[in-house]
Structures are given as C-alpha cells and as structure tokens.
C-alpha cells in the first residue's frame, strides 16, 4: 500500500531486529563484534586452543579481557569450554557447531579488511590532510 511516496512496510519482529534496543540478539551482536570477540572466533576456527595459546595468538589482549570475552561467547553457545581435571586445571576452548557457522562470515570480513587496509589508510590520510 502506498501513501504519497512512502510505502508502508511491516515492522520487523522486535526479537530479531538488531536495530531495536530491546532485541536479545543485540547482546550476541555485541559479543561477536566486540574488539576481541571476532578475533577469538576466527582464531578458534582451525581447532581447539588452550587459554594461553589463544591469548598468545591474539596480540594485545589481556588475560582479563580474554576471560571476559570468552565467558560471553560460551554463554551465547558459540564457544565450548572444557576443563581437564589436572593440577593446575587445563582449559581448552573450541567452537560449537553454532560458532563454526559464524566463522565463515567473520573470516570474510577479516579478509576484506586485509585486502583493503591500504585503501582505507590512504582515505584516512586524505581526510586528515583536509583533501
């Protein structure tokens, strides 16, 4: 139905509309797209990693931030945490099937960034120079 030049559209379901502040998916979006979430997910796509190996793989992440990010991803069902009963305990992280499905798009995004970083840097330089 058209009203003037505007089309009326059916409103999206607030439970699946990330633009809606009450959408439960927004929390997942925040975890996955956080500064560290995406790197954790992509680092785990090649297989399980112990905590310290995951920390070493992701340059610049503190143990506190890694722990915090992993807790959110485990809670969301994207990452599996396995504790081996030993002294000290060995903790290994791996992707769940749900998490594995997400690494394709995340890997594509990281690939795009790698491919276009020089262009973005040039645009930043032009902007900063006032051109």
> What's the pTM value of the predicted model, to 2 decimals?
0.79
Alpha helix ranges (H) inside 16-96: 25-33, 37-43, 51-57, 63-75
- Mean pLDDT value of segment 20-40: 87
Secondary structure percentages of the chain, helix, strand, coil, to 5? 55, 15, 30
Measuring CA to CA, which residue among 91, 124, 111, 97 is closest to residue 38? 111
State the pLDDT at residue 7.
60
């Amino acid at each position: 139905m058209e009203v003037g030049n505007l089309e009326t559209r059916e409103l999206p379901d607030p439970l699946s509309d990330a633009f809606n502040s009450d959408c439960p998916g927004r929390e997942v979006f925040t975890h996955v797209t956080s500064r560290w979430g995406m790197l954790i997910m992509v680092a785990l796509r090649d297989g399980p990693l112990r905590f310290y190996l995951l920390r070493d793989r992701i340059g610049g992440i503190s143990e506190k931030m890694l722990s915090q990010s992993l807790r959110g991803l485990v809670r969301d069902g994207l990452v599996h945490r396995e504790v081996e009963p030993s002294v000290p305990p060995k903790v290994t992280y791996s992707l769940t099937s749900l998490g594995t499905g997400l690494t394709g798009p995340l890997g594509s995004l990281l690939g795009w960034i790698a491919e276009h970083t020089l262009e973005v840097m040039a645009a930043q330089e032009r902007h900063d120079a006032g051109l």
